[in-house]
Every structure is written in C-alpha cells, then in structure tokens.
Amino acid sequence: MPNPFRRVTAFFLLSLLAGCGKAEPVVKIGFVGPLSGDQAAQGTDMLRGSELAVEQAKTKEPVIPGYKLELVSLDDAHSPAQAVATAKRLAADGDVLAVVGHLNSSCTKPASAIYYEARLLHINPVSSNPEISRQKFDTFYRICATDDLQGPAGTRFAIERLGAKRIFVLDDMTTYGRGLANEFMGAAKKAGVEILGHEGITQGEKDFTPVLTKIKGLNPDLIYFAGMFPEAALLLKQRQKLNIPAKFLGGDGLFEPALIDLATPEAAEGMYLTTLGGDIHQLPTAQAFVQAFEAKYGHLGAYSSYAYEATNLALEAIRRAGRKDRAAVLASMKEMKRYDGILGAHTFDSKGDTSLRTIGIYTVHKGKFQFVEAANL
C-alpha cells in the first residue's frame, strides 16, 4: 500500500525543485544556424556575433528588470527539415522572446512560418532570398539586402568592370542559389549578354570536373556561381586543375575566409564576389564591434557583424517591450521607426526588409578578401 506521507514528501520536494527554477527567471534569445556540416564555418562566425551581443548586453542594465538573459544556440546543419525542427523547439519554449536565425534561405523560409504561428519575433541576419519577405509574415524582419538587388549588381559589375560578354551560370539548386542565379540571369539578358548555359550542381558532391569541362569547351569569359563556399572552393580548385581561363564571380554565400583556405590562395586568386553590404572596415559605427570581436575571437567572420546586429536589434525590441511577452515584443518592434546599428540606420518596410540596400564587391588577392567597391541601390 502506498504511504500517503511519502507522497506528500515527494510533492513537497518537487515543488522545492520547481521553486529553484523560478528563483532566477530568464528570458531567452534563440540563435539558429549551421553549426555542424560543411557550412559550419559560417554558422560559427554568426554564432560568435550573437554571443558577443548577448555578452555585452549582460554587462549593461538587464533587458527586462528582474530577468536573466540567456542565448540558446541551436544547429540546423543547413537542412530545411532540421531548421523546422529547431524552430518548433524554440517556438515551444515560452522563455524565448526572439529568434536570430538561419543562414540559408532554404532554412529561413520554412522556419519563418513556424515563428509566425508562434507570434515570435524573427530577425534574419543574412538570408537574402526575396521570396521570404513576400510571405508577409509580420514576425519577420531582415537586416541585409536581398538577391533582387544582389543579382543585378553582380550583372552590372560583370559587364562594366569585368567586360563579360559570354557567361555560364551555375547554382547549387537551393532556394538561395537558384533564386540568385535567376536574378543575375534576368538582368544579364536585359543587358543583352549571352548566357551560354545555366546548370545546377548538388551540395555535398565533390566532383564538378564534368560540368567544368563542358564549360571549358564553351569558352565563356565569366563563370557565375550562386551557391555556398564549400562548393565554390571545389569549383575554383577544379577550374585551376582544368586550366580554365574564364573569370569567376559569385554571390555572398562565398564570403567566408575558409573559402580561400579550402580552395588554396592560388586557385582563388582574382575571383570576385558580391556581398550584402559595404566594407565593414570603412564603417565608423562598426569599429568598436570589430575591435571587441577580434580581441575575443581573433579574425572577424564575414557574417559575424550581421548576427551581432540582428541580436542587438532583437534585444532592443525586448528592452522596449519591457516585459516577458511575445506580443509586446512584436508590437515594440513594429513601433520602432528607426534602428541605429553598427551597419547603419535601418528602417523597415511593410515586408520587414531593411532600408540599407548596399551591395559590396570583393576580390581575392594574395589569400585575402579585398574590398573593391560598393553601390547603394
């Protein structure tokens, strides 16, 4: 027969335990990006940006008085399925008031629907596919420029600066890659440039020599690649091995120092890429961040500043809401007319996209990314 006294004791102990948890109430910010897999370099660079923002916020006044601030970081391994699973996990955690997240557009897009249903503020640092904000989720905000700007900016650079007349286009068949390739080609066709072909490669594969050989046979003067850096590194390396003279231009998915290590500086020399913003080293507002980041982690990752900016924006929305309530955070974000961050002064349109519409161009010289120019669009 169960002992009623024992049951009472157990109940008492349990309530004590529950009490321990409540002694220090928390509010959380979620971070999601690819922290494992071949894009982990970019995901880790982003996470460090978020970590720095949260760490700095902890040294100041609490965002909501009486609550401890925590960063929850989760891994989506750049898989849309895993992105949805992590989004659901964050949505189900009542302590989470905002999410900074997802590197890949193919992950951000399905996850944004989960955050929308959970009425959870979702600030996206770098997923540039324009379709995401066209879903018109009022929970979605994005602090970077989009591919309908990046693609045509790449086309203009290819024609005016690189003198490209015959272009072969490759993408990685993801939401981001295919979208960016189409934006690039649309602008190129309008400008009367000849597109010799457009093909997709599979993420995670290693051997791209067949399609590169085909490209070599067509003899274009430029190869445009819309995809991520691991595949770009292989393309550059194999382009060198096959002795293909065509120039190489890519999108912001290539903006990661690991690209140069993986491809070798010789094979990457002279390639170009477009980025979703200007040169961080020329922004006076960003210098304190750059110093703090480099002091803590060494070198600055390409996307660290975006994650830092997105996290600070989320923190600002929570601070203005002043209470642990997702609806209040959303309302305060909506009311925020302007946010002065390290990347510039953001105002957000009805789709949640930022007014900062700068596209930068970089090249690789002697194993380092070198800023070439930037255009405000």
User: Which residues of this chain interact with other proteins, rule CB under 8 A?
Assistant: 35-38, 40-41, 44, 170, 173, 199-202, 204-211, 213-214, 216-217, 219, 230, 233-234, 237, 240-243, 258, 261-262, 264
Phi, psi of 269 (to 5 degrees): -55, 130
Measured CA to CA, the distance from residue 211 to residue 214 in angstroms comes to: 5
Q: CB of 221: closest distance to other proteins in angstroms?
A: 15
Residue whose CB is less far from other proteins, 69 or 300: 300
User: Helix, strand, coil shares of the chain as percentages rounded to 5?
Assistant: 50, 20, 30
Q: CB of 377: closest distance to other proteins in angstroms?
A: 30
Residue whose CB is less far from other proteins, 216 or 357: 216
Residue whose CB is less far from other proteins, 223 or 329: 223
3-state secondary structure 307-368: HHHHHHHHHHHHHHHCCCCHHHHHHHHHHCCCEECCCCEECECCCCEECCCEEEEEEEECCE
Q: CB of 36: closest distance to other proteins in angstroms?
A: 4
Question: Tokens 């110093």 sit at which residue?
Answer: 291
46 half-sphere exposure, CB direction, 13 A CA radius: 31
Q: CB of 74: closest distance to other proteins in angstroms?
A: 14
- Asked if 55 and 81 touch (Cβ cutoff 8 Å), the reply is no
Q: CB of 327: closest distance to other proteins in angstroms?
A: 37
Residue whose CB is less far from other proteins, 228 or 307: 228
Question: Tokens 């020599």 sit at which residue?
Answer: 209
Measured CA to CA, the distance from residue 106 to residue 39 in angstroms comes to: 14
Q: For the chain, how many helices (H) and strands (E)?
A: 14, 14
Q: CB of 302: closest distance to other proteins in angstroms?
A: 14
Q: CB of 75: closest distance to other proteins in angstroms?
A: 9
Residue whose CB is less far from other proteins, 215 or 333: 215
Measured CA to CA, the distance from residue 301 to residue 229 in angstroms comes to: 13
247 half-sphere exposure, CB direction, 13 A CA radius: 20
Measured CA to CA, the distance from residue 373 to residue 362 in angstroms comes to: 7
Residue whose CB is less far from other proteins, 54 or 201: 201
DSSP letter for each residue of 208-222: -HHHHHHHHHH--SE
Residue whose CB is less far from other proteins, 261 or 349: 261
Residue whose CB is less far from other proteins, 114 or 228: 228
Angle between helical axes of 209-218 and 229-241 (0-180°, round to 10): 60
Measured CA to CA, the distance from residue 90 to residue 102 in angstroms comes to: 13
Residue whose CB is less far from other proteins, 201 or 330: 201
Q: CB of 173: closest distance to other proteins in angstroms?
A: 6
What's the sign of the alpha-carbon dihedral 123, 126, 129, 130?
Answer: positive
Q: CB of 273: closest distance to other proteins in angstroms?
A: 18
Measured CA to CA, the distance from residue 123 to residue 19 in angstroms comes to: 33
